[in-house]
Chain A
Amino acid sequence: MASRTLYDKVWDAHVVHQEDDGTSLLYIDRHLIHEVTSPQAFEGLVLANRKPWRTDSVLAVPDHNIPTINRDKGITDPVAKLQLETLDKNCKAFGLTKFDMNDIRQGIVHIIGPEQGATLPGMTVVCGDSHTSTHGAFGALAYGIGTSEVEHVLATQCLIQKKMKNMLVNVEGQTGKGVTAKDIVLSIIAKLGTAGGTGYAIEFAGQAIRDLSMEGRMTVCNMAIEAGARAGMVAVDEKTIKYVKGRPYAPTKEQWQQASTAWLELTSDANAIFDATVVIDASTIEPQVTWGTSPEMVLPISAIVPSPDDETDTVKAQGIARALTYMGLKAGEAINNIKIDKVFIGSCTNSRIEDLREAAAIAQGHKIADNIMLAMVVPGSGLVKQQAEQEGLDKIFIDAGFEWREPGCSMCLAMNADRLEAGERCASTSNRNFEGRQGQGGRTHLVSPAMAAGAAIAGHFVDIREL
């Protein structure tokens, strides 16, 4: 057989049927569901008198809409309440597994999939959420789908797809001190642009990626979509297998032996051909801060805010000018002088235990600056929260003046009460700095957990390498 990429291998293993024009039926192993993008899919299923094809492939959890505070009081927003009750009703009606809001296993869908071992190497994983690319860290083919596709997968266990192209992003060498997975992926997005990965499945490779923990690899794959790629993947290695072992949904006994042996094949062959290759020298990556309203508008902490006058492409220059106005920034301003109002540590990008440890290490023994109106830490799941509390991280954060919240998507997209007011500036470990993303008129700067904690303490962005 010809040399194949990791993506080729997982794709080939899941094709049920292929039309002459390449349109394929791709079998889906794991379907993750949350409250926001599923109600209309279930409604469609009921209207057409259809049933889920394979109920054991589904894992549902509420995450986008739920409060991160005072959960004992229930959901006060009636519109959100109805949506959460609808998820509950649909899961009960069709016999689907769902973790309730007060279950310790509840959390952000992309945190709990891997945490439960519901995400396994070589799987196809879908969810009505663009950050499903996260699960690619396990050598799975995982991507976000729309609600009509959620309905399609529920009804048929398949997705209608054409094969994407292969891109290799090779991050060679080692990163320096204070440079995290988030900084790696933001610098990849800076290089590719927000649409550079459109139409591709990206495989992240190279020493800097191999050196990352599984948590770090998830952070990188999570943001593949911010470079336009629906799927990001990392080849399986011993680290992957060690992470999966013993998790509730992971195989056991003979099946574990069989599976873990098969998973080690989930790497690109030595001579595999990629349609595009990008190489990045890890040693040149600095801690990153976004300054604009697209994840590609990102610079190292040592940089200054750019000017539209220096951009020759008119569409891009207009974009820069518009972003500067929205963000309330002036060209030439030093990034480490930008003062902030709020800090958000959380989201499916950066709310795993390693992220919280990283932030706590910076916050320990300090207090948040006087100009910080709110600094919040929102763990990715009940189990992450429990682990952090066992390690005493909650106390470090609380002593430093952070709020310690219940798990959920929270201020990453501000569907619940956690949001920015117009004009407020936030250092956020989330994934999108779009206009209004964290609240209408809110100004988001994407950073790593350590950089967010550093900014909370200083009141403005700082180079954490100098702390």
Chain B
Amino acid sequence: MEQFTQHTGLILPLDRANVDTDAIIPKQYLKSIKRTGFGPTLFDDWRYVTVGEPGMDHSKRVLNSEFVLNQPEFVGASILLARKNFGCGSSREHAVWALVGYGFRVVIAPSFADIFFNNSFKSGLLPIVLDNEMVDFLFDKSLSGQGYSLTVNLEKQQIVLPSGDTFAFDVDHYRKYCLLNGLDDIALTLKHTDAIKAYEEQRKQEAPWLF
């Protein structure tokens, strides 16, 4: 798992609710058997004027200048800000790989879809839930014309504004521990090998039809 301790970056304000994983990475790119290479096709339908296909040279495609990702003041953004229910729909982890591939390390929204939220941690992308008021504030700031940057400190569970003001966010204890240390959660689970085997033995007695 990719480690995450502290990150400072520019906000990309994507002012939409219910951004689904089909929009984050369209289906044609899911034919890939790799975990990498999805960055250039992140938000493909919104980002480019023409339809994309795997194997294309995406740097030669015509960009949709109206899409926020393509606007010059947000070049290099690494913190994505969105509205409620971000990442809904398909379970495709390719959505996380595309966001990370582009350079995002943090996504902030008032709420996330469960599967996307879970998938994010596996690739070192930190999803942060903030209340609507705070999200509105960050949209106001980041849409004001000049870039707006934040520092996210996972250890302290703190977001630092350019003004120096700080505010807290929640993160699950186990996930924080894995992210901070970049731990492989399969290795952690395999420490419980004896417990898994004991469970199986007991279960074979109770419900033999499952084996």
Contacts from A to B (Cβ < 8 Å):
16-17, 19, 21, 23, 25, 27, 29, 36-37, 39-40, 43, 48, 50, 53, 56, 64-65, 77, 79-80, 82-83, 86, 120, 122-123, 128-130, 143-149, 151-152, 155-158, 160, 162, 194-195, 198-199, 225, 228, 230, 251, 255-256, 258-259, 262, 294, 315-316, 318-319, 322, 413-415, 422, 432, 434-437, 440
B65 at the interface (CB under 8 A from A): no
B93 touches A432 (CB 8 A): no
Interface residues of B in 177-202 (CB under 8 A from A): 184-186, 189-190, 192, 195-196, 199-200
With beta carbons under 8 angstroms apart, the residue of B35, B89, B112, B186 that contacts A432 is B89
Knowing A43-B33, A315-B17 touch, does A16 contact B91 (C-beta < 8 A)?
no
User: How far apart are the CA atoms of A146 and B119 in the complex, in Å?
Assistant: 6
B:87-109 near A, CB below 8 Å: 88-94, 96
With the chains together, A176 CA to B37 CA distance in Å?
51
- Among A79, A146, A158, A194, chain B packs the most CB atoms within 10 A around the CB of A146
Q: B209–A258 contact, CB under 8 A? A: yes
B71 within 8 A of partner (CB): no
Q: How far is the CA of A174 from the CA of B207 in the complex (A)?
A: 36
A145 and B115 form a contact (CB under 8 A): yes
Q: For residue A39, which residues in chain B have a CB less than 8 angstroms away from its CB?
A: 33-34
The interface centre, meaning the residue of B54, B85, B123, B200 with most chain A CB atoms within 10 A of its CB, is B85
Identify which of residues 19-69 in chain B touch chain A, using a CB-to-CB cut-off of 8 Å: 20, 22-23, 26-28, 30-35, 45, 51, 54-55
Q: Are A436 and B22 in contact (CB under 8 A)?
A: yes
> Which of B28, B114, B208 has the most chain A CB atoms inside 10 A of its CB?
B114
Partner of B85, one of A37, A194, A436: A194
Interfacial chain A residues near B122, Cβ < 8 Å: 146, 148-149
- Asked if B30 and A415 make an inter-chain contact with CB atoms under 8 angstroms apart, the answer reads yes
5 A-B pairs closest in CB distance: A148-B122, A251-B209, A146-B119, A39-B33, A146-B93
A158 contacts which chain B residues (CB < 8 A)?
189, 192, 196
Query: In the complex, are the beta carbons of A258 and B189 less than 8 A apart?
Result: no
- Whether B22 lies near A27 (C-beta < 8 A) is no
CB-defined contacts of A64 to chain B, threshold 8 Å = 30
Which residues of A lie under 8 Å from residue B189 when comparing CB positions? 25, 152, 155-156, 158, 160
With A and B bound together, what is the CA distance between A199 and B31 in angstroms?
A: 30
B210:A151 contact, CB within 8 angstroms: no
10 chain-A/chain-B pairs, Cβ below 8 angstroms: A21-B174, A37-B93, A39-B34, A48-B186, A130-B91, A148-B122, A152-B185, A198-B113, A415-B28, A440-B26
A437 surroundings in chain B (CB, below 8 A): 22, 27
Partner of A40, one of B23, B33, B173, B185: B33
Contact of A319 among B17, B23, B51, B123 (CB under 8 A): B17
Tell me the bound Cα distance from A459 to B150 in angstroms: 53
Report the minimal beta-carbon distance from B124 to chain A, rounded to whole angstroms: 11
Is the Cβ of A82 less than 8 Å from the Cβ of B33?
A: yes
Residues of chain A lying within 8 A (CB to CB) of residue B192: 16-17, 25, 158
Residues of A within 8 A of B209 (CB): 120, 251, 255-256, 258-259
